[in-house]
């Protein structure tokens, strides 16, 4: 078994949760999300992020608007919807429960 594969799957499982948290802070451009996720060692490439953002949009959890840019093509800025905020609250409760359960199991000594 390869630990690297498991680590990648763990990150992928948390990616949607982290993206919603980033967007919840305010309107954000995709490259800014990639930068923050990379700094946090979530290691995301555009090919991973854009399909996920599209799924979140299709689920009405995020929306976007186009903003003209003076230095190039228009930019797409993402924001969280009310439905997205409620969804994120549910994910937060799940995260808190998972952290507690995981700590309970991993902190036990023989």
Tens digits of residue pLDDT in 53-93: 999 999 999 999 999 988 888 999 999 999 999 999 999 99
CA distance 39 to 33: 10
Task: Quote the pLDDT of residue 85.
Answer: 98
Strands 62-69 and 28-29: unpaired
CA distance 14 to 10: 7
Angle, in degrees to the nearest 10, between helices 30-39 and 46-58: 120
Task: Quote the pLDDT of residue 87.
Answer: 97
Question: pTM of the entire structure?
Answer: 0.89
Task: Quote the pLDDT of residue 110.
Answer: 81
CA distance 76 to 69: 10
At residue 66, φ and ψ (nearest 5 deg) are: -90, 135
Task: Quote the pLDDT of residue 42.
Answer: 86
Task: Quote the pLDDT of residue 7.
Answer: 84
């Amino acid at each position: 078994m390869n630990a690297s594969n498991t680590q990648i799957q763990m990150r992928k499982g948390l990616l949607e949760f982290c993206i919603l948290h980033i967007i919840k802070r305010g309107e954000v451009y995709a490259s800014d999300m990639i930068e923050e996720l990379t700094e946090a060692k979530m290691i995301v490439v555009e090919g991973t992020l854009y399909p996920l953002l599209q799924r979140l949009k299709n689920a009405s959890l995020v929306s976007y608007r186009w903003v003209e840019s003076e230095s190039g093509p228009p930019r797409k800025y993402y924001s969280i919807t009310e439905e997205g905020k409620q969804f994120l609250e549910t994910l937060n409760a799940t995260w808190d429960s998972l952290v507690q359960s995981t700590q309970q199991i991993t902190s036990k000594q023989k």
